[in-house]
Amino acid sequence: MTTIPLEHVLILASILFFIGFIGVIARKNTLFILMSLEVMLNATGVAFIGAGSVWQQADGQIMFMLILTLAAAEVAIGLALLIRMQHQYRQLDIDVLSELKGDQG
Amino acid sequence: MSFSPLITMFYLAALIAVIASIKVVTRKNTVHALLYLVVSLIAVAVCFYLMGAPFAAGLEVIVYAGAILVLFVFAIMLFGLREDETHYAPQNRGFSGWIGPVCLSVILLIELVYTINHQGIQQQLLATVVDAKRVGILLYGPYLLAVEIASFLLLTGLVAAYHFAKTTNHGGPA
């Protein structure tokens, strides 16, 4: 039996996920978008750990470890892309990438 | 409803995590946001510990706060954000940069010490803990294929990060 109700864990996970989502949507700086993505991945980890804690199974922690692996790979590639962006455009504003649309010459 | 000490500790850690996360997405200065991100991850690790997953809490501190955030710090040092990012930030006003994360961290420390010293919480945690042994048995039994795929993912991340981050003067506009 667990002592922390699952609803409250899920509420915490939802709040953290929503904060990260707002960060991804609202910020212009690509570095902050990456950090907000970390917050979102962390919130999903909270949900998995909470579920695994309620049912007393270790599967939730395994899912969390897979999320951790995903976050590490994502941050490595994302930061490498950001370094390229800084080299090419001398800034990290997401709006300079709008020329990826391709129809602007 | 009556709050047990365990649930009160969980709410306190959750509140710290939420506050720190809000600060992460609203700061102007990148390094300040990174400090708050560390505090948020450690608060979530305390939540994991109180939920009966000490192995996940350790991994959170070691991998997230220890490795991924160091990656962020290296990237920020590479970017040289002095000229464009901190230009818009307010001037350094003494305590203002680090007093917030320090306060949240001190609250977390007090909470951790209280949790370790409290007998009732420890007995409750011992009844509900899912230890690392069960995780390891599952991880190298039914989830072996997932572990292999995760290793491929990490290798792909390594190769891709090297490929993107190296400075090439040929092939494409540099």
pLDDT digits (tens, 9 = 90+) for B33-46: 898 999 999 999 99
Mutate to test the interface with B, among A7, A9, A83, A91 (most CBs of B within 10 A): A83
pTM over 0.90: no
Q: Measuring CA to CA, how many Å separate B4 from each of B10, B11, B32, B118? A: 10, 11, 34, 12
Return the exposure string of B9-37: e unless at least 16 CB atoms fall within 10 Å of the residue's CB, then b: bbbbbbebbbbbbbbbbebebbbbbbbbb
CA-closest candidate to residue B129, choices B30, B66, B58, B50: B50
- Reported as a pLDDT band with limits 50, 70 and 90, residue B174 is very low
Return the exposure string of B59-74: e unless at least 16 CB atoms fall within 10 Å of the residue's CB, then b: bbbebbbeebbeebee
Residue B88 burial by CB count (10 A; 0-12/13-18/19+): exposed, middle or buried? Answer: exposed
Shortest alpha-carbon distance between residue A7 and chain B (Å): 13
DSSP lists the bridge partners of residue A93 as A29
B165 vs A3, A68, A80: nearest CB: A80
Q: Closest chain B residue to A72 measured between Cα atoms? A: B68
The mean predicted confidence, pLDDT, of chain A is 87
Q: Could you give the ipTM of this predicted complex?
A: 0.89
A3 vs B7, B17, B55: nearest CB: B7
In chain A, residues 17-76 whose CB comes closer than 8 Å to chain B: 19-20, 22-23, 26-27, 29, 31-32, 34-36, 38-39, 42, 45-46, 49-50, 52-53, 56-62, 64-66, 68-76
Locate A64 and state its tokens: 């969390």
A68 vs B6, B59, B157: nearest CB: B59
Contact state of A15 with B158 under an 8 Å Cβ cutoff = no
The mean predicted confidence, pLDDT, of chain B is 83
- Residues of chain A contacting B25 with CB distance shorter than 8 Å: 19-20, 22-23, 26-27, 32, 35-36, 39
- Reported as a pLDDT band with limits 50, 70 and 90, residue B171 is low
